[in-house]
Chains A and B, each alone.
Chain A
Amino acid sequence: MSSTPEVIVCDPKPMGLLQRLYVIEVLKGLGVTLRHFLGNVFRRTYTVTVEWPEVKREYSERLRGRHILVAREDGSPRCVACYMCEEACPADCIYIEAEERDSDSVEFEKRPKVFEIDLLRCVYCGFCVDACPKEAIIMSRVHEMTFTTRDESVAGLDVLLQKKPLRKEDMGYRPYYGKPHSHIELPIPVKPGGLLG
């Protein structure tokens, strides 16, 4: 052996009389479940259930939910239709059609005419966000979505383009510089309460 790793041999000990009697150990086990049960009935010591939908668990500011196309001040998309996100997407679920725009700056000479993301194809990896050189596409914390048909799931500019000013609560995965601002809340917050408070 090149170097004998330090090992712990954790072979089971032979069963003692108490164990072979079975009942005693089972009672001990029942003690554990009883402790949990009583703890929950009277004080909710062990309850961890998030009472969705009344209580919504807040995910971190990096949650990769549905995308947002960030708008400029005039409401048009910040996107310059450079196709980088389309290229970076492993699922090939972004479809962009570019069009010229009247602009005095070379930097913004194009804009997307069609910008569609198939939300059912998307694997929410965030690579499109990483790829965008304009910070035009970011992700929101919207993750509770359901569809009844597949066509419904193709989100175009009307859904993706940001309409209201961005609030911090809405924003999920997006580029960070400097200090990372995301925080972990443990234990997971649940509704307080219980029979005796």
Chain B
Amino acid sequence: MATRDEIVASIRKAFPEGVRLLDGGDLPTFVVDRAELLRLARHLKDDPGLDFKLLADVCGADYAGREERFEAVYHLYSVTHGHRIRLKVPVREDDPVLPSVYGVWRAADWFEREAFDMFGLRFDGHPNLKRILCHPAFVGHPLRKDYEPGQRWLLREGEQDEPVWARQPHEDDDHFETQVINLGPSHPATHGTLRTVVRLDGEIITQAEVEIGYLHRCFEKMAERHTWKQVIPYTDRLNYCSPMINGVGYCLAVEKLAGIEAPPRAQLIRLILSELSRIMDHIVCIGANLNDLGAMTPFLYMYKAREEIYSILEACAGGRLTISYVRVGGLANDVPGDFVEAVRWILRRVPPLMNDMEKLITRNRIFRDRTEGVGVIAGAEALDWGWTGPCLRASGIPYDVRKAQPYLGYETFDFKVPIATTGDTFARYIVRVEEVRQSLHIIEQALERLQPGPIICDEHHVALPPKEQVYTEMEALIWHFKLIMEGARIPAGEVYGFTEGANGELGYYIVSDGGGKPYRIKVRPPCFAIFQAYPHMLVGHMVSDSVAILGSFNVIAGELDR
């Protein structure tokens, strides 16, 4: 791992001009002149000492009032060295154009489209720069600060977006007419709301395009309108298969910014429930994938475990799915007295169900024939697309945030990172199965360490004081009042918080202006990056394979579209 100074020195040396280092911050942050962006991007990617192969996130930000109103923000990560940097490219409102880095990292594809959609930043050289989340009849750029959050535009039947090529008749080499087929957005195998348009030559897909945004619920705009605490229920609804992990990621990022830390017991409970959520998520992913391939039974068996994990979450937090359990600085409540026994019960419960499922599936020839060699992606290519998580690990790159940059004390636990080298749909399945086992192992160790203690820190400028103090002490009541009416004051600054979500690196880029509400929150959803490779991977496969591939990505629309 290169230290911060080494990174800075190396970049300074190559770029004496056009690149300016900002002081402080959680990551080395450079303000880059847009004329230098492409050259710098190549350098960052190709220089072996820097080796930023993963473009984690690209987003826009609006600083109304500044001369250079908009900013494009890039987050980079080096899987080999384990370091990160942030780049910022300011542009003026009357000329919001900057070069696209799609030629350097393909991961920029959808991220840049999103920045265009949300802020109107134009990326020169992007192959397909059009709206991605909002519908085509939408007017304006919603994340600009002057956009009214409630301003809706109606989309009428017939105005939906069509890929340009889908409208043109096309003949293949043998002069047979090819067909354009539309899958989704309401289709049993699309898991919610995605739409794929494919061109078929016989049964083989020759061209594909994906449309997303059918579940764009304006999380980021809503977050700007609510206090830091009120954002928590919104985060639950990002990846709704594993809500706990989102909340943990958000609160860790805010805590980083506020410079506070949750007490050890809270950390441990967060960890246990995160791992339980990961299991739940993998259960749904595997189950739904199998279901799409025609194997209903395993889903029915495994869902039992999921329902029982719900029981635990509900007893801890009060909600089954959208639990809103994490708070900035700790947790909402302490866990019930019989928490440990209940989790142990789950630990005993899951393995037999997993075994049953494996007996049905893993050695089943039909399943293997349908998944092996389908949707193959090589590690380097996957990284170029911005993949993380189980899907990347199935292609042989052992990047796991829990190991690479541990949080919540993951470094003290004994677990292994499952990888596979084939990078196909079967590999993604088998990696998930093994991850469930590893999660069980982590939980087992964590339960041993659970000690009584406080569950929320006593920094009352961010965390609500306990109720009994509110009723009895004046000072606590004043804090309580201020926190509810104005929101917690989080110091001005920016932070990129990252955790290992069930699908990969879940990042929160948070900007605070010191007020009671976030100035900007950008979520880096893992499946957004994964899914953008999908249309490219489809080419050469059959339609039935597309279902298998899609299922193995575990695309969660709530997180994808936010």
- A interface list, Cβ under 8 A from B: 1-12, 15, 19-20, 22, 25-26, 28-29, 31-33, 36, 48, 59-60, 62-64, 84, 87-88, 90, 123-127, 130-131, 133, 135, 139, 172-173, 175-177, 179-188
Chain A hits for B370, CB < 8 A = none
From residue B370, how far is it (CB to closest CB) to chain A in Å?
13
Distance, CA A155 to CA B424, complexed state (A): 53
Distance, CA A82 to CA B117, complexed state (A): 41
Main secondary structure on chain B at its contact with chain A?
Answer: helix
Distance, CA A175 to CA B311, complexed state (A): 20
Interface residues of B in 465-501 (CB under 8 A from A): 466-468, 470-471, 477, 480-481, 484-485
Check A12–B304 contact: CB distance below 8 A: no
Distance, CA A6 to CA B410, complexed state (A): 13
13 contacts between A and B (CB under 8 A): A5-B416, A8-B418, A10-B431, A29-B364, A36-B301, A84-B485, A88-B230, A130-B464, A181-B337, A183-B315, A184-B338, A184-B339, A186-B311
Contact of B316 (CB < 8 Å), options: A32, A62, A64, A125: A62
Chain B hits for A135, CB < 8 A = 467, 471
Q: Indicate whether B178 reaches chain A with its CB closer than 8 angstroms.
A: no
Cβ-closest chain B residue relative to A22:
B365
Distance, CA A179 to CA B234, complexed state (A): 29
From residue B210, how far is it (CB to closest CB) to chain A in Å?
28
Check A64–B468 contact: CB distance below 8 A: no
Check B318–A180 contact: CB distance below 8 A: no
- B interface list, Cβ under 8 A from A: 1, 79-82, 226, 229-230, 232-234, 297, 301, 304, 307-308, 311-312, 314-319, 322, 324, 332-339, 341-342, 345-346, 349, 356, 359-361, 363-366, 368, 372, 398, 400, 403-404, 416-422, 426-427, 430-431, 434, 464, 466-468, 470-471, 477, 480-481, 484-485
Distance, CA A102 to CA B21, complexed state (A): 64
Contact of A62 (CB < 8 Å), options: B333, B372, B470: B333
Cβ-closest chain B residue relative to A185:
B311
Check B360–A29 contact: CB distance below 8 A: yes
CB-CB nearest 10 A-B residue pairs: A2-B82, A62-B318, A60-B315, A5-B403, A184-B342, A175-B467, A90-B230, A182-B336, A184-B315, A64-B318
Chain B hits for A124, CB < 8 A = 319, 322
Cβ-closest chain A residue relative to B467:
A175
Distance, CA A14 to CA B229, complexed state (A): 51
Check B419–A8 contact: CB distance below 8 A: yes
Contact of B422 (CB < 8 Å), options: A12, A32, A63, A126: A12
Check A188–B485 contact: CB distance below 8 A: no
Contact of B229 (CB < 8 Å), options: A33, A123, A127: A127
From residue B467, how far is it (CB to closest CB) to chain A in Å?
4
Q: A11-B421, A25-B363, A180-B336 are in contact. Are A90 and B234 (CB under 8 A)?
A: yes
Chain B hits for A186, CB < 8 A = 308, 311-312, 342, 345-346
Chain B hits for A176, CB < 8 A = 333-334, 467
Chain A hits for B400, CB < 8 A = 5
Chain A hits for B334, CB < 8 A = 176, 180
Distance, CA A6 to CA B402, complexed state (A): 12
From residue A166, how far is it (CB to closest CB) to chain B in Å?
17
Check A180–B333 contact: CB distance below 8 A: yes
Chain A hits for B466, CB < 8 A = 177
Cβ-closest chain B residue relative to A26:
B364
Distance, CA A25 to CA B358, complexed state (A): 11
Chain B hits for A29, CB < 8 A = 359-361, 364
Chain A hits for B431, CB < 8 A = 10
Check B233–A90 contact: CB distance below 8 A: yes
Cβ-closest chain A residue relative to B301:
A36
From residue B506, how far is it (CB to closest CB) to chain A in Å?
18
- Contacts A12-B372, A12-B426, A182-B336 known; list 5 others, CB within 8 Å: A4-B398, A8-B419, A184-B342, A187-B345, A188-B307
Check A126–B315 contact: CB distance below 8 A: no
Chain B hits for A1, CB < 8 A = 79-80, 82
Cβ-closest chain A residue relative to B295:
A29
Most chain B beta-carbon neighbours within 10 Å: one of A2, A10, A179, A184: A184
Cβ-closest chain B residue relative to A177:
B468
Check A32–B337 contact: CB distance below 8 A: no
Contact of B398 (CB < 8 Å), options: A5, A175, A188: A5
